[in-house]
Structure 1
Amino acid sequence: MNSRERILGRVRRALADVSADEAPITRDYLREHGQRTVAETVDLLAENLADYRAVVHRCTDDELPDVLMRLLAERGTRSVLVPPELPPHWLKAVDATRVHDRAVSTPHELDRVDSVVTGCAVAIAETGTIVLDGSPDQGRRRITLVPDHHICVVRVPGQVVSSVPQGLERLDPARPLTWISGPSATSDIELDRVEGVHGPRTLEVILVTEDRPRDQGRIEST
């Protein structure tokens, strides 16, 4: 018997005479830290995304095609990876080759793609986290892990929540969830930061509102 088996055995013996009804799980933690308006929650999301070195843009739905065209052109994108049900009008102004998400695509083929554009499942303001769940406007997990540049579109305020507990209520745990807080990064024992190790080196997030946003500038980390 190894250490793991001994520990699990002790847990089972300790719980042998306890039914599920006698051991309720308490969830008395805070669901949200502080009181914020919708606008303040979106501002907090933008601030925390930027703190994680994501580049944040704001626009209306009508302006989104032009914003995507500009961002991809500024990066010199010649090919863009497209999930199966990305809204067609998003990329209507983009002059780049569409590469469709296919099961037969190899990691080497995906690595040759310049950029990927996706939607998201939910965005969490308090942690600056974007969550993808593999829905048709997001595609499979690997298409956002291999290309070096990821643009993620977040619908405001419908897809924005304040806290992780609120975000979890919207997610299906049976789906392939990818939690993203800024571009991929790691650091060694001397805290030298290296980006793009196990995901995109550059993450850009577009907060899209139905009405004209209060501030159309972008928030960038320094």
Structure 2
Amino acid sequence: MSSRERILGRVRRALADVPATERDGTAYERAVPRGYLREHGERSVAETVELLAENLADYRAIVHRCTPADLAATIAGMLAARGAKTVLVPPGLESEWLAAADAERIADRAESTPDELDRVDSVVTACAVAVAETGTIVLDGSPDQGRRRITLVPDHHICVVRVPEQVVSSVPQALERLDPARPLTWISGPSATSDIELDRVEGVHGPRTLEVVLVGD
């Protein structure tokens, strides 16, 4: 008898007197109270959005604010300021967002190699949700966000967040909106790490520069 068979045998014997209707985990869920805080403190919608902006900046993301009518010009200005000649575009991104941009649009293709993605100057995506308390943006691979790798290889990521509808206060509130079966990418500022002397190095595991556009009336 293998170790695996012995362990599974012990589990079966331990569950022998448990009714079959309670073996699916629901009994445990009922027995354990989960009175967790859903957010820390009470904030208005405007205060929640302001907290998001503050925490994004604290993580060294560059935060912009604009109205929907000004979004295309805002993105075009950001790309021009960086000197971006090429921009990677997810298939479901709203075409109006890049209507004023002069950069060449590069499609998100499955066959693109890491070297090809590394040569792209910038990438523009939407997001699934943004968490104010942690300054975190979550991508879920939806058509307007594209494959995970397109936001990990290029050095410059522009992410558009619709406010207030895509902004929540806390991680528990964000999880309620997300599908755990999707490829979730949690972004808190540009990619960074530090050595034993706490010397910060950015751009190690993803974009060196993260710019977030908060779009709302």
Same fold (TM over 0.5): yes
Q: Choose from 23, 26, 45 the match for 2:28.
A: 23
Change (3 A) 1:15 1:26: farther
Q: How does 1:71-90 map to 2 (within 5 A)?
A: 71-90=78-97
- Counterpart of 1:204 in structure 2 is 211
**Distance 1:23-1:117 versus aligned 2 partners, 3 A rule:** same
Match of 2:188 in 1: 181
In 2, Cα distance between the equivalents of 1:57 and 1:86? 19
Please state if 1:43 is matched with 2:50. yes
**CA distance in structure 1 between the partners assigned to 2:160 and 2:91 by the alignment:** 15
CA shift at 1:85, angstroms? 1.1
> Following TM superposition, by how much is the alpha carbon of 1:191 offset from its aligned partner in structure 2, in angstroms?
1.0
CA drift of 1:63 comes to 0.4
Counterpart secondary structure, 1:27: coil
* CA RMSD after TM alignment: 2.1
TM-score of the two chains, using structure 1 as the length reference: 0.87
TM-score by length of 2: 0.89
SS state at 1:206 partner: strand
Output the CA distance in 1 between the equivalents of 2:13 and 2:129.
39
1:50-100, Cα deviation, whole Å (9 max, x unpaired) = 000000000000000111111100000000000001101000000010000
1:156 paired residue among 154, 163, 167: 163
Q: Give the match's secondary structure for 2:69.
A: coil
The structure where helix makes up a greater share of residues is: 2
Give the match's secondary structure for 1:117: strand
Aligned to 1:139: 146
> Which of 1 and 2 has greater Rg?
2
Unaligned residue ranges in structure 2 (runs of 5+): none
- Runs (4+) of structure 1 exceeding 4 A deviation are 11-15
User: How far apart are residue 26 of structure 1 and its match?
Assistant: 3.0
Select the structure with the greater relative contact order (CA < 8 A; seq sep ≥ 6).
Answer: 1
For residues 21 and 171 of structure 1, do their structure 2 counterparts lie closer, same or farther at Cα, with a shift above 3 Å needed?
Answer: closer
